[in-house]
Amino acid sequence: MKLDLLKNQWLDIVFEGRNKLYGAYELRKTNSKTTLKSLIIGGIIFTFLVSIPVLANFLPNGDDEAVLDQKITTVKLPPKEKPKENLPPPPPPPPKVDQVKFVKPVVAKAEDVVEEPPKIKEIVDKKIGSETIKGDPDAELTVEPVGNGPKDVVEEDNNVYNTAGIEVKPDFPGGMEKFYKFVGKNYQVPEEDGLKGKVFVSFVVEKDGSLTDIKVIRDIGYGTGKEAIRVLKSCPKWNPGEQNGKKVRVLYSLPISIQSAE
């Protein structure tokens, strides 16, 4: 008997006397159907992939949606200005005055002269214009109100100057020797044995001579800096500094010697 390899007759001969329930028999028996299904499914997938560029041309353009998704920006217009109320009436027009038309003199023949220029006596006390106008002698004379004119605003100089570049330095009434006497008289030295040193302070001498912005740059402890501030706050007014002939604020710094009584 001639076998057809394209049919399943040869399977029965190969598996004769063997266990046909084994998986190999079923696989070979359904091999042709499985191969056919695979070819069909593969062909469908291949056709779909090839046709993607063609299908993409029929899809709507995404730019239209992008335009629809754009946000609308609201622009606020400035409010309309309301007409000003209770405005004074406009001034009356100035009265008409006599005006004589000015004719530019031109060198020409006598027969070509159309209009002669005015004589000197005709333009005395009259305006010169492009046409002749008769004034109104009975009109009321109006004079524009005179303003106050711009005022010069002088800005006050509140800068703090340094003693190194000031023309007139601030000074204590009676001199610095009298100032140190005032400090020595009013300064209460802490009761601390062997306390000795200098307290460096700075302050601003104002235009009226008062002392402000008092600061301790360096002290020797035991409340010496705090006591120096207290004394300077009770200090009489100084003679202020001057720059360009005007009183100005000046930064001043000095040391105060401290020595406890033995």
Percent of the chain at pLDDT exceeding 70:
57
Highest mean pLDDT among 17-21, 192-196, 234-238 belongs to 234-238
DSSP character string of 169-202: --B-TT-HHHHHHHHHHH----S-TT-EEEEEEE
Environment class of 206 (CB within 10 Å of its CB; exposed 0-12, middle 13-18, buried 19+): buried
In percent, the amount of the chain with pLDDT more than 90 equals 26
**pLDDT greater than 70 at residue 61:** no
Q: Which residue has the tokens 């000046």?
A: 250
| Token output for 88 | 């004074």
d(CA 250, CA 203): 8
pLDDT of residue 259: 80
Answer for the pair 261, 230: CB distance below 8 angstroms, yes or no.
no
Beta carbons of 92 and 120 less than 8 angstroms apart = no
pLDDT at 67 over 50: no
Q: Which of 171, 249, 251 lies closest to 206 in space, CA to CA?
A: 249
Contact status, residue 161 vs residue 249, Cβ threshold 8 Å: yes
Mean pLDDT, the chain, rounded, equals: 76
- Residue-wise pLDDT for 128-185, tens only, equals 666 666 666 666 655 556 656 556 566 788 899 988 888 999 999 999 999 999 998 9
Q: Is residue 30 predicted with pLDDT exceeding 60? A: yes
What does the pLDDT look like over 170-204, one tens digit per residue? 999 999 999 999 998 999 888 888 888 899 999 99
Angle at 75 between CA 69 and CA 81, to 5 degrees: 165
Task: List beta partners, residue 256.
Answer: 199
Residue 89: per-residue pLDDT: 76
Q: Which residues contact 230 (CB under 8 A, 6 or more apart)?
A: none
SS3 (DSSP) at 38: helix
